[in-house]
Amino acid sequence: MATVALTAANFDEVTSKDGIVLVDFWASWCGPCVSFAPTYERSSEKHPEITFGKIDTEAEPALAQKFDIRSIPTIMAVRDGIVVFSQPGALPASALESLIEKVAELDMDEVREQLAAQRKAKDATAAARG
């Protein structure tokens, strides 16, 4: 599968579905981004069951800001609508494959429980502060 251009208009629709969505935050002037692009494209062809999205941070500054992107390229993994990984830096092909394997192996029920516990603790802290 070829990569998909993600925009503010289609981001939520694409990333809220079940399954894995990888997101590459990039810009045309970024040397590491341009160098990483063929690796990302090859991986998208190897894994047609995964959606490989690309966000041009120049064209979509609001999305970059929403996810606090401070360095590009940044790779983000979304599984079943939940961001489970985000890290700046171009990945070598082997590291990208390892990331895909780890995201696929996640127990999403456990991830949801952890998120709920974090929200509950955050809410309790906020309530204690008054």
Hey, which residues are catalytic here? 30, 33
Buried b (16+ CB within 10 A) or exposed e, 11-43: beebbeeeebbbbbbbeeebeebeebbebbeeb
